[in-house]
Amino acid sequence: MASFAPAFSNMSATAPKASPYCGCLFFTSGALARGMNRLAEASFAPTGIAPSYAFLLMTVNREPGISPGEAAEQIALTPSTVTRLVEKLEAKRLLEREADGRHVRLHPTPASLELDPTLRAAWSQLFDRYQALLGPDLSQTLTQQSADAIARLDRAG
């Protein structure tokens, strides 16, 4: 069995040297996600709402009556994860579910709509934080290339 050793010749001079896995997309994307999650948690902490919940609320506030499946697609979470988030946000009286025949629709509550500007300010702060750390060019490149990679992986199944 041949061993897999990725080529490191194209890596940036500033790439982390501590790990033998820094040339692996799985490893580096996970590490990037954990770093971004730390920034997001810090940015959304003043709202009292975790980032995933906040993005779901902002989605429902922007599109009242959206289905959980549509919301899941927009925030790149599985439908089962969105269902769990909805249940917790319902318990906090920030979302309401409405049965529409066989379909479920999500609606914001007045408390959710009142919280929306605070959530959007936290999102803006997150954007400012990662741009300050990464620079605007790298931030935009990483965002676009990540979105492209996600689309390709989604198409591949």
- List, for residues 42-87, the tens digit of each pLDDT value: 999 999 999 999 999 999 999 999 999 999 999 999 999 999 999 9
Residue 10 lies in a domain: no
Residue range(s) defining the domain that contains residue 110: 29-156
Residue 84 lies in a domain: yes
pLDDT of residue 18: 75
Residue 105 lies in a domain: yes
Residue 82 lies in a domain: yes
Is 53 buried (19+), middle (13-18) or exposed (0-12) by CB count in 10 A? Answer: buried
The phi and psi torsions of 67 (rounded to 5 degrees) equal -80, 155
CATH number at residue 135: 1.10.10.10
Mean pLDDT of 19-34: 91
Looking at the structure of the chain, the number of domains it has is: 1
What gap in Å lies between CA 15 and CA 72, rounded to an integer?
33
Residue 111 lies in a domain: yes
